[in-house]
Chain A
Amino acid sequence: DTEVTQTPKHLVMGMTNKKSLKCEQHMGHRAMYWYKQKAKKPPELMFVYSYEKLSINESVPSRFSPECPNSSLLNLHLHALQPEDSALYLCASLNIGGGHTEAFFGQGTRLTVV
């Protein structure tokens, strides 16, 4: 099973809403990432979790709050977002064995902030 599952696929939220994005993998990978992707741009790293601990926060605003309840799950809690936060949010699970970093991406959550 090489699948990374993200829910929901689409999300529309107002600027005062609180919502959460979910990501799940069952490949036994111990590193999971959140990326943000704007149209016609490459994925932009937001957070890295390694062994369920936050190891990288790429200066992401506090209105984005990640959580890693266990090695298979990764959440991204959203609060008071701005319209410019509308993007495709991608979760990736990383195989960090064998001396290289191989990322498996989910299908993403298309987020629209209104």
Chain B
Amino acid sequence: QQQVKQSPQSLIVQKGGISIINCAYENTAFDYFPWYQQFPGKGPALLIAIRPDVSEKKEGRFTISFNKSAKQFSLHIMDSQPGDSATYFCAASHSGGYQKVTFGTGTKLQVIP
């Protein structure tokens, strides 16, 4: 129940295209859903996050869509750029319990010119 499933495992997108990464969760106690971006040899960096009382959140070219009934959420990267090439992790946490952040399995995104 603590798992967060993420797909696809890898993604190749043309420059200017839209990158879409999907995640699904089981634990209805999760109440915070961040996305992290990680470049090789670096730590994950918080990119954007959403709470389940909101269906969409947009920050620049990055948008999270959230479907509470389906227990799914996704990251859309508009106008994808080569500099967006990185590994993306969705995550989930809940304000009670062990304050544990549960990560998805990661998606390696490559944006080609």
Contact = CB atoms under 8 A, between A and B. Distances in A.
Q: Do A and B bind each other?
A: yes
Interface of A: 4, 6, 31, 33, 40-43, 45, 48, 50, 55-56, 88, 90, 92, 94, 96, 99-108, 110
A106 B51 contact: no
Nearest to A31: B99
Contacts of B106: 40-42
B43 A101 contact: no
Contacts of A108: 41-43
Contacts, number: 73
Contacts of B36: 105
Contacts of A6: 43
Interface residues of B, number: 26
Instruction: Please name the 10 residue pairs, one residue from A and one from B, whose CB atoms are nearest each other, closest first.
Output: A100-B32, A105-B43, A42-B103, A101-B93, A99-B95, A108-B43, A107-B43, A105-B44, A101-B99, A90-B43
B101 interface: yes
26 contacts: A4-B43, A31-B99, A33-B101, A41-B105, A41-B106, A45-B100, A45-B101, A48-B100, A55-B99, A56-B98, A88-B41, A92-B101, A96-B99, A99-B31, A100-B32, A101-B93, A101-B94, A102-B34, A103-B46, A103-B91, A103-B101, A104-B46, A105-B36, A107-B42, A107-B43, A108-B42
Nearest to A39: B40
Given A100-B93, A100-B95, A105-B45, 18 more contacts: A40-B106, A42-B103, A43-B103, A50-B99, A56-B98, A88-B41, A88-B43, A90-B43, A90-B44, A94-B99, A94-B101, A100-B32, A101-B101, A102-B32, A102-B49, A103-B91, A103-B101, A105-B44
